[in-house]
Structure 1
Amino acid sequence: MIEIIPVETKKQRAEFIDFPHDLYKGDPNYVPELFMGQDDLLNPDKHPFYKHSSAQLFLAYEEHKIVGRIGAFWNVNHNEFNQVNEGQFGFFDSVNDQRVADALFDAAITWIKGKGGDTVVGPINQSTNETCGLLIEGFEMPPVAMMPYNYPYYTALIANFGFAKKVDLRAYDIPTAQASLRSVQLMERLEERLNRSGIRLRLINLKDFKNEAEKIKSVYNKAWDKNLGFVPMTDEEFAYVAKDLKMIVDPRFCIIAEKDNEIVGFAVGIPNINEILINIKRGRLLPTGIFKLLFGKKKIKSLRVMMLGVLEDYRKMGIEACLYGRIIKNAGLYGIERGECSWMLEHNYMMNHAIEQINGRLYKQYRLYEKAI
């Protein structure tokens, strides 16, 4: 018999976070999330998401053993911005048993209905500003930083419950050596043209990070406003994310486009710390994980371009190509062997084409599902 228990205590939250470590034990592509980060994300007393929205976590037990987990989310800001009554499910992990998956989905949907929801969408771990999507293609390699991973059988568990595809999210692999020459040459020609229009590219200034982040936030919330499922970050949410990113961001891979000292576009590439996290047992930094993280950063050979946004009035000018080109050029100079651009909406034809033009290869796909309830 499957028993579903709502997570209410700190101990239960720790068990919720730790369950995937046991489920994926022995899987060479599984990367454990840092416990501290996950605990903060799911703690209503710490994360700013809970100042405007709510969540309920559930654990599935069979014979006193945890066999699955799920989170149900009611994102008030998302619903108001998109004029919908959607709930989201996230943090879904389960043994390969349809009974367990069905019981978890039933619990999440019952909670979302209680909030007034008429649709459920996922997997979304809190919001689209966090990790989201179910891996459906590209199981051969570990995920890069802040991207999800799951067993192939999850697709059947979700589809069998009645979920249907909402949209696919794409990840492109770009080997630096294959992309650099063409993209750098293109970038240099485009930059000359942009310069004549008063648009300049520069590296982010970490010494003035607070002001830089404030300017980037404005562009971020405007540049993504037509993206499916997007919800603008509050000031506190953006500050929370910026604080975390500052610890791993490398200014050589964070490029800003400016006109008249105002940011009109930006790209953020982060070192793929999953190269290190994959070897940190159960996501614990203590006692030895902290040293692996500190000393391993210089050995990272890949990066993820996780954000790229240009204000609508400045699109189709070549700024996007220049941002990518600058990152690729710097990656080649500093020993980065490959990069991932993710995630891209499948119908974002302009950006997908731009990546393919610099030899980006579609190598992973993720899916968001939806179901009327």
Structure 2
Amino acid sequence: MTHVKSLGNSLKGKDRLTWRNIAEDAFEGDDNYIQFSPGMRKGEEREFFVLLDEGEKIGRACATVDKEWIEKKGEKIGFIDDFTILPDHKKDGSILIKHCLSVLKDKGLDGVFVRNNGFPALQVEGFEHPPPAYLPYNPPFYVDLFLNDGFQREKEWHNIHLKLSFIKEEDIFVGEKRLKDLKMEVIKLNLRDKRAVKEYSDLVHRTFIGHFGFNPREFIAGYDTFFKRIFTRITTRIMRFQIYVGKYKGKDGKMVIYFSFFPDINVFFKSLREKGKNPFGLIAMLKLMLGGAKKIKRAKVGSIGLDENIRNIGVASDMLGYGLNLVAKEGYDELDTGVMLAENLPVLRIVEKIAERWGIEEVILMKYYTLSYKFSP
């Protein structure tokens, strides 16, 4: 008989291995799959569940209450995280979904989002290509499972993958001229300057809170002790995490633009798997940090945004060529833009026009849907 079993509020020992093995079994033969599950953030409460059929472990899911989301967005929303079901048992996926919904409803929530790799969406297109790090990756049938159980499509997101060939000087000049006209400069964020880091973190927070309910680049949280400050600076340097900020010139110039990118670590982990090596665990992470990150030629945008006071005046389009040149100067020849709202058509069109004008060899689109469930009163 198929039934759901709770593993409790945290994974340890054999339970952690069980959790990972279910995903490995579900994605067996899929060379693009790289297992990733973000750690618990401050303010989260989770309960982990596995789906069993006559003792066989055929699925997993996590019911999450994110108190920070509730507090900062004012929405009593829960999440179904890390949903995974073996393809041969997809008809049983509804049992796991309904169980998680029941658990979250009992906690007094108004609704539920589905999260994959920490992002509130599921992938619906672009499965034939390796997924960028930290973005959703799931079989196509997952979306239908949730829609059939009463979930609704809320938002559509796009990730654009570019293979860069060359960048035209005139597009870089347009960005430089716009900076000059605005009396602004673009510089690398000084991670030694706690005040600058806090200003950057606050700017990112203001632009992300509307979509995510939290600041996914909360660097200031890693700066409250001397040890954490040193550790953050070292790991950021080793992992080639580049953060640029745009600010008005002058001693007290306000920070109004940010742009960050880093090597797509999925490229490295996928290469380990292709060599028959284990892409998980401490050894794999040490290999990544001790030289592996330097060999990656595909970058991923970490975050990009503008202060609300300089939006809708064409700054993003003028600065795109300038920003992509910063990526190219670091030695990358491919780039993933990260998720962008489909309703933000101007940005998507700008990327497409730039790609055409520069003769970019290939543009790949990956699409994602945010799925939500509303509990009846």
Give the TM-score range, shorter chain: 0.7 to 0.9
Q: Is the partner of 1:7 in helix, strand or coil? A: strand
Within 1, Cα distance between the matches of 2:116 and 2:103?
A: 16
Q: Counterparts of 2:220 and 2:186 in 1: how far apart (Å)?
A: 27
**For 1:189 and 1:254, how far apart are their aligned partners in 2?**
21
Cα distance change on mapping 1:71 and 1:209 into 2, 3 Å: farther
Aligned mates of 1:357, 1:152 — CA distance in 2? 29
Alignment of 1:272-287 (within 5 A): 272-278=264-270, 279=272, 283-287=279-283
1:175 aligns with 2:160: no
- The one-letter code matched in structure 2 to 1:223 is T
Residue 19 of structure 2 is matched in structure 1 by 16
Where does residue 39 of structure 2 map in the other structure? Answer: 41
Q: Equivalent residue for 1:215? A: 199
Cα deviations across residues 49-71 of structure 1 (Å, max 9, x unaligned)? xxx33221211112222111111
Task: Sort the Cα spacing of 1:347 and 1:54 in 2 relative to 1 into closer, same or farther, 3 A.
Answer: same
Point out where structure 1 has 5 or more consecutive residues left out of the alignment.
none
The one-letter code matched in structure 2 to 1:217 is S
Q: In the alignment, which of 143, 151, 154 is matched to residue 163 of structure 1?
A: 151
Cα pair 1:2 1:61 within 8 Å, conserved:
yes
Matches within 5 A, 1:82-231: 82-96=73-87, 97-123=89-115, 130-177=118-165, 180-181=167-168, 184-206=169-191, 208=192, 210-227=194-211, 229-231=212-214
Letter in 2 for 1:17: R
Pick the aligned partner of 2:44 from 48, 53, 63. Answer: 53
SS at match of 1:172: strand
Q: Percent identity?
A: 21
CA distance in 2, matches of 1:186, 1:232: 31
Q: 1:124 to 1:212 in 2, by over 3 A?
A: farther
| Alpha-carbon offset, residue 146 of structure 1 | 1.1
Q: TM-score, normalised by structure 1?
A: 0.83
**Closer, same or farther in 2 for the Cα pair 1:237/1:14, shift >3 Å?**
farther
C-alpha change, 1:367 and 1:211, in structure 2 (3 Å) is: same
Match of 2:304 in 1: 308
Residue matched to 2:359: none
Distance 1:147 1:288 in 2: 20
Maintained 8 Å contact 2:197/2:219: no
In structure 2, runs of 5+ residues without a counterpart are: 357-362
Contact 2:239 2:293 (C-alpha < 8 Å) held by counterparts: no
Residue 145 to residue 192, structure 1, CA distance change in 2 (3 Å) = same
| Aligned Cα root-mean-square deviation (Å) | 2.9
3-state SS, counterpart of residue 168 of structure 1 = strand
1:171-223 Cα shifts (integer Å, max 9, x gaps): 01222216x22xx52332232232232211112334x2654432211101112
Alignment of 1:193-342 (within 5 A): 193-206=178-191, 208=192, 210-227=194-211, 229-232=212-215, 238-239=221-222, 243=232, 246=236, 249-250=239-240, 253-259=242-248, 260=250, 261-278=253-270, 279=272, 283-287=279-283, 290-291=286-287, 294-321=290-317, 323-342=319-338
Question: How far has the Cα of 1:305 moved from its partner?
Answer: 0.9
Whether the 8 Å contact between 1:70 and 1:89 is mirrored in structure 2 is yes
1:101–1:213 Cα change, 3 Å: farther
Aligned counterparts of 1:171 and 1:234: Cα–Cα separation in 2: 19
Which amino acid is the alignment partner of residue 76 of structure 2?
A: N
2:348 corresponds to which residue? 352
Q: Specify the code of the residue in structure 1 equivalent to 2:2.
A: I
Q: Check if 1:31 corresponds to 2:30.
A: no
Q: CA deviation at 1:327?
A: 3.7
Do 2:201 and 2:217's aligned partners in 1 also have CA atoms closer than 8 Å?
Answer: no
